[in-house]
Structures are given as C-alpha cells and as structure tokens.
Amino acid sequence: MDFSRSEALHSEASEVLVGGVSSGFRKSITPLQYFERADGPYYYDVDGNDFVEYTLAWGPLIVGSNHPDINAAVRAQLETSYTLGAQHKLEIELAQKMVGAVPGIDQVIFSNTGSEAVQATLRIARATTGRDKIVRFSGHYHGWFNNVLISMDENGNAAAMCGGQPEKEYEDTLVLPWNDLDALTKLLQSQGDEIACVITEPILVNSGSCMPQDGFLAGLIELCRAHGALSIFDEVITGFRVALGGAREYFDLQPDLSVYAKAMAGGFTMSAVGGHRGVFDALRDGRTVHYGTYNGSSHNLAAAIATIDILSHPGTYERMHGHGNAIRERLEAKAHEHGHQLVTSGVGTAFSMHFDLEELPIRHADTLAANKEKFAAFRRNMLENNVLILPDARWYISAVHTDKELEHTLAAIDAGMAAI
Ligand code: PMP
C-alpha cells in the first residue's frame, strides 16, 4: 500500500508544525497517515487508500463521520450562533438529556476537553472536603495536566511522566495499583482524613481495556463514602459508549461525580461533569469556581444533542456490542487456529487484543507482557487489508458499523492472522 503522499506531507508539516502532529500521542504511529475525508465508518487518506476504521478518532466518533443528523443540527446552529460566551437554550436541552440518560445525575457542568473536566472534579472534591490529596491508579489516563499525568515508580510512589512536571505539582497525588481493594482500604485507613477523592476509569480502556474485578468499583464508592472522600468515575471513554448511561448504567453504580467527553458530542469539542445535586454545592455557593470561554458553545451543544438522540434509538448498544463481540470471537478463533496465543479484554464497544497473554489482564502491569511486535505486524496487515485500528491494540465500535463492514473486517482478520 502506498503512503508516499502522507510521507511527503509529514515532511512538509514537520517544518512548521512541531513534530508534524497536533497531539504528541500521534507522532510515533507508523505509517503516519494524512487523511482527506471521513464518511460513516470510513477514513480516506491522501494516497487514495480507504479504510473501515475502528479508531473513531480515539473514541469520539461513536456515530461515525459526516452523520446527516449531526451535520444538519450543527449547520442549523451555525446560522444563529457559534459561541456566545453567554447563555443559550441548548445548554438546558443538553443538560436535561444527560440528566435523563445517566443514572444518578441531577446536574452537570460543561467544559471542552476531558482533561479540563477532570480538573474540575478534582477542584470540586478539594473544595468540598477541604483536603488536598487525590488518589488515582496506575496505568489510568486522566489527561495531560501535571497533577494527573503520573506513573508509579518501582517503590509505588508517584512519578512524573515527562519533563516539565515539578514534583510539588503532583506531591498530593497518590498512585495505587488498580483492582486492589485491600490497597485502597489500607491507604484510606491510614490517610483517609487527608484524601479529597479517588478517581478511576471504570473500565481501564487506556491500558488494555481491563475490566474491574467484581465488587471493586462498588467497594471504591463505599470506601470513599466511609472516609468522606468523593468517588469519581472518569467516563471520558466509557460515557455514552458502554451504554447510553455509561458505566453508571453498565455496572449499576453511582459515584459522586462522573466525567464525560469523547463520545458525548460525536467528534465535536465538548465535555461535562455530572453528579448528584449536593456534590456541586461548592460551585453554587462560591467556595470554588469553574470557568471557560468556550464552555457551552452552541454548535458543540447542537452536536452533543444530535449525538445523544442518535444513540438513544432502541437497539443501538446491542448492535454495537454485537459487532464488537463478533470481531473479538473471530480474532481469538483465528489467532488460535494459526498457533498464536491471544486474549481480548473489555466490552463489545471498546476492547483490546493481547497477543501472548494467557489470561485476561486485570491491571496495567499485566498488559505489559503482551507481544507488541506481533500486534504491530497484525495491525500493518489489517491496514494493507483496508482496516484501520489504533496502534495500542484497542478497538472502538460505532453505531454506523454495519454487517457490510463486519464482513470486510472478519475477512481481513482471517488474512491478518494467517499472514503474521
Ligand atoms: N480521561 C480519559 C479516561 C481519557 O481517555 C482521556 C483522553 N484519552 C482524557 C481523560 C483526556 O481527555 P482530552 O484528551 O479530551 O483532554
């Protein structure tokens, strides 16, 4: 497959755009493709190649690209306003939709990105509790700001992920292994009165789509309540993806706060924090603040409302999960047929594949033993067969992947597993 035009554009871009990319995550992807157009579940690159695509732009494109309902809603909105820096009726409509769709959410606030919305939850938790420490888990991603872009070093201490992160900016961030209720219990027993909140991805999609162990999330919420800390689900990925009501609906659990972004606006720039009414007291009474010039921009609100309407059609999530599960089954069956060990973890609409793992991973550390070279060869082969998947072995399914794309994808998997 020819990628020469993409390569030429990357060289040209690198002269004027740092690293030739707009997000550092993208710079190590090979081949580094430039895309011209996207339509439904397809991406079209500048070399004339087209792909059934399962990256969904790292999650947002839950109803694909160029969706007529989103286009119509956004176009209509553009005629009247883009952004006002003031109030708009669609803010109420979107908030009402979220409150109606997501269990246990009475109120929301709007931001633009997942990173920002996460910061809003941390600030609310600190202002509410009067405590400074926050707890997060190893391998989880909560955005790129200094207090959360943290890994765990060999002694179990928080460590910076990159340069430019002064220790004092994350000294109140405690990192624990995930899916380990004993570790959380011990920490809360010893330092509970200093801990403002515990934040978790409810499914660890960012590190191999590990599922929570039975009772882990419920235990986390309980422990937080017992120690006066807020529980936070970072649903930037799982929100509107694993169910219309996200992980709250999927697991029937209600933490204090949940963060939404990505899928909620179908590719437009929108994020939100939701929770029960009382958890926002600190914002209402002015103990803390939440700001943003672009918060609640009208065209993004219109996109989010259209996206949630599309996702609300009966049967949407069953179809998406079914599509993903059919892919998972074929991946595992064909891998084994060709003598490869493979497990897939996660749920139908968001899952990861792991070559050479014998068991389902339950935390980030377990995923490190997966055979990345084999996956890279498989991914390249899928690309050659016109199927695009993310470089970290994660698959996202959209509401516009149909049986036609499934058939193409299953055939590509057969070819890919035979070739590696
Ligand atoms: N939280 C999670 C769970 C995420 O996956 C991401 C983005 N991948 C973020 C937060 C940050 O969101 P954004 O990139 O919109 O700032």
241 CB near ligand 1 (under 6 Å): no
261 CB near ligand 1 (under 6 Å): yes
154 band by pLDDT with thresholds 50, 70 and 90: confident
156 band by pLDDT with thresholds 50, 70 and 90: confident
> What does the pLDDT average to over 159-179?
96
> Could you give the dihedral angle defined by the CA atoms of residues 75, 78, 80 and 83, in that order, rounded to the nearest 10 degrees?
140
User: Which residue has the CA at smallest separation from atom 12 of ligand 1?
Assistant: 114
User: Which tens digits make up the pLDDT trace of 363-380?
Assistant: 999 999 999 999 999 999
**pLDDT value for 152:** 85
> What does the pLDDT average to over 142-167?
92
41 band by pLDDT with thresholds 50, 70 and 90: very high
User: Which tens digits make up the pLDDT trace of 183-192?
Assistant: 999 999 999 9
> What does the pLDDT average to over 133-137?
97
Pick the closest to residue 94 from 79, 108, 84, 113 (CA basis).
108
Q: What is the pTM of this model?
A: 0.98
Distance, CA 415 to ligand 1 centroid (Å)? 33
Pick the closest to residue 224 from 200, 180, 192, 249 (CA basis).
192
What is the best residue among 144, 237, 273, 394 to mutate for testing ligand 1's pocket, by most ligand atoms within 8 Å of CB? 237
113 CB near ligand 1 (under 6 Å): yes
Q: Which atom of ligand 1 is nearest to the CA of 115?
A: 16
206 CB near ligand 1 (under 6 Å): yes
115 CB near ligand 1 (under 6 Å): yes
Whether pLDDT at 71 is above 90: yes
> What does the pLDDT average to over 346-372?
97
User: Which tens digits make up the pLDDT trace of 267-287?
Assistant: 999 999 999 999 999 999 999
User: Which residue has the CA at smallest separation from atom 3 of ligand 1?
Assistant: 236
387 band by pLDDT with thresholds 50, 70 and 90: very high
The CATH number of domain 69-311 is 3.40.640.10: yes
Give residue 418's region: left, alpha or beta (phi > 0; psi -120 to 50): alpha
Average pLDDT, rounded, for the chain? 97
What values do phi and psi take at 178, rounded to 5?
Answer: -80, 165
Distance, CA 1 to ligand 1 centroid (Å)? 32
Residues with catalytic function: 141, 234, 262
DSSP-derived 3-state class of residue 324: helix
CA–CA separation, 420 and 411 (whole Å): 15
Whether pLDDT at 155 is above 90: no
Whether pLDDT at 209 is above 90: yes
